[in-house]
């Protein structure tokens, strides 16, 4: 298992999961994107806002091609390659 990139946003991004709950990438959080060796699936961490306004961290399992397509179309989502984040964390 390897972190391949991180995702963040400058403003909350909400995706309606169903009638009562929504997936959210919250401003100010950096979420890891993990890939198992040899797999085309990614594990993307995000927040789940439930209808009672409680916030929970969850993992979305999604095909890499679907993730790339969605992030390219969502202009408020920003990706940081893991190698760049590693360099940053070594510096600070």
Give pLDDT, residue 31: 94
Nearest to 24 by CA among 2, 52, 1, 56: 56
What are the pLDDT tens digits along the chain (92 aa)?
999 999 999 898 887 767 777 788 889 899 999 999 999 999 999 888 887 888 888 898 999 999 999 899 988 999 999 999 999 999 99
For the residues of 12-47, what is the DSSP string, one character each?
-EEEE-SSS-EEEE-TT-EEEEEE-TT-SEEEEEEE
CA pair distance 86, 91, nearest whole angstrom: 9
């Amino acid at each position: 298992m390897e972190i391949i990139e991180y995702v963040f946003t400058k403003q909350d991004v909400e995706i309606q999961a169903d009638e009562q709950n929504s997936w959210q990438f919250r401003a100010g959080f950096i979420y890891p994107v993990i890939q198992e060796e040899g797999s085309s699936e990614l594990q993307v961490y995000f927040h789940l806002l439930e209808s009672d306004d409680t916030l929970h961290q969850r993992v979305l399992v999604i095909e890499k091609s679907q993730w790339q397509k969605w992030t390219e179309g969502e202009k408020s989502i920003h990706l940081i390659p893991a190698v760049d984040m590693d360099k940053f964390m070594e510096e600070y």
